[in-house]
A and B are shown apart, each in its own frame.
Chain A
């Protein structure tokens, strides 16, 4: 349904203190406030027996179930926490109707735009590196994110880390993207299909950057290629990333990791980013660093031995001389 219908729906108009009871598991959730609403339902901050949680409630069983399936998969992506973790799935039965819902981990953080207020221009690049790291993990697990846009992202911390909030658009690789937003969709800009593949997400990631420079967004003109190039060139924030952004927009990267690595190199190249460089590449540099140290130790050990031997030899020489004299 269209969002305008949703705002009038009962699930979008729960008030503070309302109780949502699960039909199957009998858990109780008490509404604190509404966090937002979209095409498929509304998200609330709720209290339950284990503390705070975010609860998404909607009308359509299909779309809620579909999102739950995705969240379950996320918890199976090994080692890394990508999206919010799933707490529980249930139905809320009222006298009038039954509404499907699920509870998930509540991520406390700021929107990208709020976060950027008063921050240096290094941050967009660093957030993009973080985003690309997560995308690579997700792609390796066989999924594309789909509906990548600032509204579905969050910066938690400090330490600051970009996180995914709404994973509703996540799609199995090679299928058609489930959910998307025109501005971030390469189909809309005439730059390719809506098939779930890494390059689809990388296009959107580049558009997220462009959106950060142009918070009001803009609509497509007759020559989208030229239009996007101009937008990048005329923004001081985007200009330094121009080469990478254009490669992403034109589907030149096959994997998120390629784009990430090029971005790290670019961020490292500037003097002013030295502090960031240390943070970003710490893990990469650790091993070589220790190996080098070991080598140095070996070298100094050799030099010491050499010196000791020379000294002993010289003393011995003097001794022999003393004996013969």
Chain B
């Protein structure tokens, strides 16, 4: 019998400031409380207007409040950034769990960094192992406001590339993609939980770009999607730490 856990992440890809509905920073905090890490990537164009750049400050605040990682990049670097952010957030979450366990063993103030280098190496192997074998669920929220039009192709390519990387792991992966605003609702499902993203070409062609940016409602919907998924699972144990949940598989 071996313990295997699931990491849950929301990956928000946006190019500007939210302008409708709930406060996205508050929603990110709510997600974080429920074991979901919120990562945010702000996408810039070389010719992005100054007021748009200002709006990207929100990106950092959402990620900080969601216990995740943020990065602001030009569209050309998107592919590498999507992977980097996802993997770094995984490591960060796992490191948090490992540190919590170390504190239990070694006393209140210990963390990995306080260990002598030899011991650190052994702990690192455990972290590596977990990162490789844990299950990962990523819910991708794509900003479909008008200004994203010229970046959609790049977003699509980066997500495909992300799935190549994650599907090379030993652990299972599931992806789900939502766009905001949707055709009729604030948030619209594009792809329900699936381990493959091969079909996303068709999905992207379905997106109609709207005018508003309801980032807060999108994150809130993300939390609900995770909850549905969890309750549909057979076994469910309480959270051990941020973004991490233990399930025992026999």
Residues of A within 8 A of B (CB): 2, 24, 61-62, 65-66, 68-69, 72, 89-91, 98, 100, 174-177, 182, 187-188, 193-195
Contact = CB atoms under 8 A, between A and B. Distances in A.
Interface stretch (B41-49, B166-174, B222-230): B166-174
22 contacts: A24-B117, A61-B112, A61-B113, A61-B120, A62-B91, A62-B95, A65-B120, A66-B124, A68-B117, A69-B121, A89-B118, A90-B117, A98-B113, A174-B170, A175-B132, A175-B170, A176-B170, A187-B161, A187-B164, A193-B164, A194-B164, A194-B168
Contacts of A62: 91, 95, 124, 127
Dominant SS among interface residues on chain B: helix
A85 to B, nearest CB: 16
A100 B115 CA distance: 12
Contacts of A90: 117
Nearest to B169: A176
> Which bucket holds chain B's interface residue count?
20 to 34
Contacts of A2: 71
Contacts, number: 54
B117 A177 contact: no
Given A62-B95, A62-B127, A187 B165 contact: yes
B121 to A, nearest CB: 5
B123 to A, nearest CB: 8
A174 to B, nearest CB: 7
Nearest to A196: B168
Given A62-B127, A69-B124, 7 more contacts: A24-B116, A24-B117, A69-B121, A176-B132, A177-B168, A187-B168, A194-B164
Contacts of A187: 161, 164-165, 168
B128 interface: yes
B150 interface: no
A5 to B, nearest CB: 10
A100 B124 CA distance: 14
A182 B168 CA distance: 16
A95 B196 CA distance: 49
The 5 closest A-B pairs by CB, nearest first: A194-B168, A176-B168, A89-B117, A65-B124, A195-B168
B50 interface: no
- Chain B CB count within 10 A is highest, among A61, A91, A100, A193, for A61
A90 B166 CA distance: 32
A195 B132 CA distance: 11
A7 B118 CA distance: 29
Contacts of A61: 112-113, 120
A2 B84 CA distance: 9
B165 A65 contact: no
Contacts of B127: 62
B167 A193 contact: yes
Nearest to A72: B121
